[in-house]
Structure 1
């Protein structure tokens, strides 16, 4: 079962996202900010990362940059989910494999995850 790391500082959003992904058959680990997510990614080597943009300690863009700079993590797909910064994510296609605007459709999220993992 593929492992997905979620980086999201809004507890309820992280919880709903984790439930959606678990219901779709994925294992999930969550982190409340980018720095904790980077530590999880380094430790667990997930199949995919879903990150918010605006978070304390490290933004989603900073998380993606750190992953892309590390040759052992650079291959891991990163999905950005954002309420207002989606355009920033789209301006960095080398950092994000997909950008979904909040509120995102559950079906579209699962389809995007499935496509990136196939």
Structure 2
């Protein structure tokens, strides 16, 4: 009887974890889509650039979700790794932009940082 109870609770825990992961994933995909759409409009990205930028942003959100879920590292380390991940994503995006687009991207990054600093 005790084993059945433990198995049941383990199963419920696993189901909860999978549901939470799926919810984070769906939310991350939606956020990545919004940000890529904003950058497409702002930077006038080509269709090829759009796909690449979306993948880079989505990858960044997935890494962010994994960091947030990691209970083995401190909040300070998480913040530092999040910063590094953002910087890496920005560098990857800049690699596929034209010089004119890079200038607009830099302005967008500055505006984005200022906007989030207020929160």
* TM-score after normalising by structure 1: 0.29
Task: Please identify which structure carries the higher helix content.
Answer: 2
Higher relative contact order (CA 8 A, sep 6+): 2
* TM-score after normalising by structure 2: 0.29
